[in-house]
Amino acid sequence: MTLARLLIPPLVSGGLFGAGLTLSGMTDPARVRGFLDLFGDWDPTLAFVMAGAVLVMAVAWRIRARMPRPIFGEKFSLPDRTDLDPKLLTGSALFGVGWGIAGLCPGPAVASLALSPGAVLPFVGAMLAGMVLHALPQQRSFRRLFQGS
């Protein structure tokens, strides 16, 4: 596959995504926290964002069902897990806490690197550190350290 086929669709997708987040005010932590402030001064904007995005994607999933393969790729690589495990719940619960504290989730945080780099860099850096921390116990060298073998 050529470089252009690998690079351009994700780049355009990311660009549209970042544009959508910024246009809808989702890069503003106050607006996101306003949505989560259900018992205070509630701001329903995020619900409109989710509705718009889910609407388009619901159509896309229907189109995908009729496609043998993606337009620019050889095959679909989609999650197929259906089991519910404690990790899904614990992880999502944790994520919600961090989301509520800062009013930022990964998409808006990365997009905001172009808007307020100084303010969001500590968040993005710590987010990467958190991802590394989560990956550590799965590393073979780390396991060996604790199993003493």
Partner 1 sequence: MIEAFPNALPLQGLLGGLLIGLASAMMLLGAGRIAGVSGITARATRLSGGDMSMTSAWGFLVGLPLGAAIIALSTEWRPAEYASWPVMVVAGLIVGIGTRMGSGCTSGHGVCGVSRFSQRSLIATSTFMITGIATVFILSRLGSPS
55-114 residues in contact with partner 1 (CB under 8 A) are 55-61, 63-64, 67, 69-79, 81-84, 87-107, 109-114
Distances (CA, A) of 136 to 74, 94, 131: 32, 18, 9
User: C-alpha angle 95/97/100, rounded to 5°?
Assistant: 110
**Residue 39 interacts with partner 1 (CB under 8 A)?**
yes
Q: How far is the CB of 80 from partner 1 (least distance, A)?
A: 10
Q: How far is the CB of 4 from partner 1 (least distance, A)?
A: 10
**Residue 149 interacts with partner 1 (CB under 8 A)?**
no
Site string for partner 1, 10-29 (x = CB under 8 A): xxxxxxxxxxxxxxxxxxxx
Contact of 21 with 27, CB cutoff 8 Å? yes
If the CB atoms of residues 70 and 143 are measured against partner 1, the closer one turns out to be 70
3-class secondary-structure state, position 42: coil
Contact of 123 with 109, CB cutoff 8 Å? yes
Q: How far is the CB of 148 from partner 1 (least distance, A)?
A: 26
Q: Which two tokens stand for residue 30?
A: 């106050």
Q: How many CA atoms lie within 13 A of 81 on its CB side?
A: 4
Contact of 30 with 104, CB cutoff 8 Å? no
If the CB atoms of residues 76 and 145 are measured against partner 1, the closer one turns out to be 76
**Residues in contact with partner 1, total (CB under 8 A)?**
118
**Residue 142 interacts with partner 1 (CB under 8 A)?**
no
